[in-house]
Structure 1
Amino acid sequence: MAAGLVISAPASGVGKTTLTLALARAWRNRGLNVQCFKSGPDYIDPAFHAAATGRASVNIDSWAMDRAEIAHLVSRGANADVVLAEGSMGLFDGVAARGVSGTGATADIAEMLGWPVVLVIDPSGQAQTAAAIAAGLRDYRAGVRLAGVVLNRVASPRHEDLVRHALNDAGIAVFGALPRHAEISLPKRHLGLVQAEEQVEIGKLIDEAARFVAEHVDLEAVLRAAASWSPQSGENGLNVTPPGQRIALARDAAFSFVYPHMLEAWRAAGAEISTFSPLADEAPDASADVCWLPGGYPELHAGKIAASARFRDGLRVFAETRPVHGECGGYMVLGIALTDADGVRHEMAGLLGLETSFAKRRMHLGYRLAELAAPMPGHQVGARLRGHEFHYSTIIAQPDTPLAVVHDATGTVIAETGSRRGQATGTFFHLIAEDR
């Protein structure tokens, strides 16, 4: 039977990922099998979890997934000793309108699975007020249990003592305090952390974080606070249809944002996946029956993509007879042009009329519910798809047939409809699940 915990915080940027990775590696170094999950639609953190634990991590999402789907995904932790779910944003942060089984908040997952929460608290610029914040989070919602806190970026022993005493008076356990001057951090860029596969020293970074946290946090006390847990039945699995039997998947530093549970679901349904690298000027596998271009960072590699003639020509030939689909960055590459942050316009594949620009960045972020007005690989007209959008591009032109009517989490119709031309389709959102 595994021990389950949720790692959360009052807000983003407090140190949830670093603590999760450090705890996972520290316990693994002590001979425990650790399974991680990511609450919410984060494409990057699961790869860090896998690097820390040696086990694949997946996203669990209460807005896009029902309880059976979440139960199916977390059942992979049945043979682990410790199961950690890393939260997103603050503990109770989600959308205003309920989705399939919740609002997307980390608290939904904690309550659903019955796992206590370890809060990461940054008391910078405060002292006893940190205890008031922790107490407020503890008492805000019945069914969500607080195990205790780990303090991060503590300024001095005196600062730590003030905060510890206040938390003790509030009846909240303090598992440890991490000094500010020795903070361990991971490199970031505009969509979050720099991807794990881009960091050759990722193993050393995680090892150092584990050493640092083990020095300042009572690992045994954290483990004792975890809830004994055994997975509930999740026989229904994921409501995900593969886009084809043999899928050519773009995979490199420019095309890497794909949810791990999607790839697993495709394989579980019998699909085969062959990868190719547009940055290495590789064309999709000619024996595949569908090509899928995930999101990523095409804006950082636009010049190289534009110069990859073999990739672009091969993609065009492929699209003459078989479907090609792009998500977010992949969608932009299927368009006619992409202007980078320096204002340089780069020619893309031209399978769609979409043109985008990063010269004037504008953030697009949030859950998406799309009803297909035209078919796309794996899904027919009328299918209701749940996904998430996060990018900084501006649409210059989107002239093709709209792919879907797309709503945000409040039900408001948005302009990012996706589009279709011939065999090519694309969306700005990343698919998470289809409504049952």
Structure 2
Amino acid sequence: MGTPAGAAASMAGGRPRRRVHRAWLVAGVTFLVLLASAAFRSSLGVMLVPIEEDLGWSRTETSIAVSLNLIVYGVAAPFAAALLERIGVRRTAVAALLLIALGCLASTVMTAPWQLSVLWGLVIGVATGSVALVFGAIVVNRWFVARRGLVLGILGAAWATGQLVFLPLLAAIVDEFGWRAASLAIAGCCAALVPVVAVVLRDRPSDVGLEPYGGIDDEAAAVVPQTAGAAVVHAVTVLREVLRTRSFLLLAGTFFVCGWTTNGIISSHFVPAAHDHGMQATTAAGLLAVVGIFDIVGTIGSGWLTDRYDPRLLLSVYYALRGVALLAVPALLGPTVEPPMLVVVALFGLDWVATVPPTVVLCRTAFGPERGGIVFGWVFAAHMIGAGVAAAASGALRASSGDYTSAWLLAGALAVAAAVGSLLLPRPVTASVPGPARR
């Protein structure tokens, strides 16, 4: 690999000095963008109670903003590719980071609940949704031929874990300096990333006279990029075609529950629920960071299992275990962290994103490689809609009853229902492919 100029690189001790391919720098910056956007999207969870206490707003009013944020974030997924095709990877990342920064800055002078919904629900929801998993996948597909799976796994971990591991730091800032300081810190981090993105990211390797890492991708070279309008129309057309199939309804329905039982109630309401039981916000956020750490193990392990076992059975087990953990939460929350609570937190982490590999495989086997990716985009949208509905519903249940017990029980029951629904999915069949031997 490399150019003639690279082959004639400067000599050190008689040995040519090998240069790091720019693809790895691009992947590193993409990792930071995904990590930051995921962390900042979920940060409202640790600021919810301080905002309510400071501004006198109710849990129902603030939960609307959380719900809107999750829904907008998810619905952006099927159309993110169209945006990236229209304005490019670098411009999309810069625009998203600036929008997050501006939204956070503006939130420090809020005076009404509807402003929280506009800033965190719409502005930050659109911005973070534009640089989520689809963004990372497009960067990897353009810049890597070799090591694609490895880099996709690393970026996926950044997206999933970034939602949780920074919460203790943000909670500490909130405790020490107030929620406005945390909002300003987020804005500062986004602003600091902008010049890094502008310098390193490029839309394609050819923009800087390079080939992708690992050589030319013949399949990618043969594809003529769609216009943004055509991409949007195609995404809607695929949805219309699959909407009435049992496979899509079950996949979307179970992933709706997945969103309800993760981002919807745990990310958005675990810290406020722990606060109701006398637990410090930093302690509760620390438990969510533990969820993020176990998630890395669970995601990698689930990918390994998905290659070897029926993905329907894996989904059923994941949802059943999650249901048991959710049903146990009301009895375990208290001012201190006891060992049974740590077991529940570990279960949350191990199957937090473990549902993704089997769901992706089922989308592909049910709808084919051409439509499977777009179908998963819509299934992911259902995931975030479920999260958004759960955020609002859980807040309303807490406001009406005075605690979160009914919200935890409802989430646990839905997870058990998803475990049953997973078994009703059609058995995945790997079709024989004529021509060259399958890899």
Give the alignment's TM-score, normalised by structure 1. 0.27
Greater helix share, structure number: 2
- Compare relative contact order (CA 8 Å, sep 6+) and give the higher one, 1 or 2: 2
Structure having the higher strand fraction is 1
